[in-house]
Amino acid sequence: MADTIEVLIPEEQIDTRIRELAKQIDSEYAGKSVTLFVTLKGACFFACELAKRMTVPIFMEYIQAASYEGTSSTGTITMKLDVPDDAVAGKHVIIVEDVIDTGRTLAAVKDLMQARNPASLAVCSLLDKHECRVVPFEGDYIGFSIGNDFVVGYGLDWDQKYRNLPYIGIVR
Ligand code: IMP
Ligand code: MG
């Protein structure tokens, strides 16, 4: 039987919010160029929409982190797709993510990026599930703060399904 998806954030609302984020980032990075580090796979839908609405010069890079839950409660993050140091050093870097959940992935990715000496480093996430944090982590640009429901769509998957939904939904 097909899953039922309840719309949590409709497409029009996402579009409006992405325009606002792009405008805010544009004004805060005026006169600079920005390198967007898109975390695969989920954030690419959001990152493309954001990039198209930004007017400062941008460069796009892609990273992929994989998390493994060990026997301890601290997940280990490894990079499945990494980038050369010269894509980061001296650059104004914004990591673009789909959702911040426990905070483990971004805390690790941000440390890895920081070690490569960017001129500046920020995190932009479409969604923030703040109440799910296991490690302390704050994003700099957040589209929407949501509760602890598992969400799909706009790049987010459930077992690789539903990434292409044009809205954010909850599987019921
Ligand atoms: P965390 O912040 O390290 O826990 O992990 C964030 C990653 O977990 C995200 O990049 C997503 O890939 C995945 N994730 C967390 N919550 C959800 C969700 O509600 N739907 C789909 N993927 C999720
Ligand atoms: Mg992700």
Supply the CATH number for residue 90's domain.
Answer: 3.40.50.2020
C-alpha separations of 83 from 63, 139, 169, 170 in Å: 7, 21, 32, 33
Least confident of 26-35, 38-47, 72-81, 101-110: 72-81
Q: What is the mean pLDDT of the chain?
A: 93
Closest C-alpha residue for ligand 1 atom 20: 151
Q: Find the mean pLDDT for residues 147-159.
A: 96
Q: Which domain holds residue 137?
A: 10-66+77-152
Ligand 1: nearest atom to the Cα of 156: 21
User: Rounded to an integer, what distance in angstroms lies between the CA atom of residue 150 and that of residue 164?
Assistant: 16
Residue 171 CB-density burial (10 A; 0-12 exposed, 13-18 middle, 19+ buried): middle
| Residue 85: inside a domain | yes
Query: What integer pLDDT is reported at residue 18 of this predicted model?
Result: 98
User: Rounded to an integer, what distance in angstroms lies between the CA atom of residue 10 and that of residue 166?
Assistant: 8
Which residues are paired to 168 by β-bridges?
Answer: 9
Query: What integer pLDDT is reported at residue 73 of this predicted model?
Result: 43
Query: What integer pLDDT is reported at residue 75 of this predicted model?
Result: 65
The answer to whether 82 is a known catalytic residue is: no
- Residue 109 pLDDT > 70, yes or no? yes
DSSP of 87-153, one letter per residue? GTTTSEEEEEEEEESSSHHHHHHHHHHHTT--SEEEEEEEEE-GGG-SS----SEEEEE--S--EEB
pLDDT bin (cut points 50, 70, 90) of residue 10 is: very high
Tokens at residue 73, please? 């409660």
pLDDT bin (cut points 50, 70, 90) of residue 97 is: very high
Closest C-alpha residue for ligand 1 atom 17: 150
User: Rounded to an integer, what distance in angstroms lies between the CA atom of residue 85 and that of residue 102?
Assistant: 27
Domain count, the chain: 1
- Residue 26 pLDDT > 60, yes or no? yes
Tokens at residue 152, please? 């799909």
| Residue 144: inside a domain | yes
For residue 41, the CA-to-ligand 2 centroid distance in Å is 6
Radius of gyration, alpha carbons of the chain: 16
pLDDT bin (cut points 50, 70, 90) of residue 104 is: very high
% residues pLDDT > 90 (the chain): 85
| Residue 165: inside a domain | no
pTM metric for this prediction: 0.94
For residue 103, the CA-to-ligand 1 centroid distance in Å is 9
| Residue 15: inside a domain | yes
Closest C-alpha residue for ligand 1 atom 16: 101
Q: What is the dihedral of CA 39, 43, 44, 48, to 10 degrees?
A: -120
Which residue ranges have their beta carbon within 6 Å of ligand 1?
42, 67, 97-106, 150-151, 156
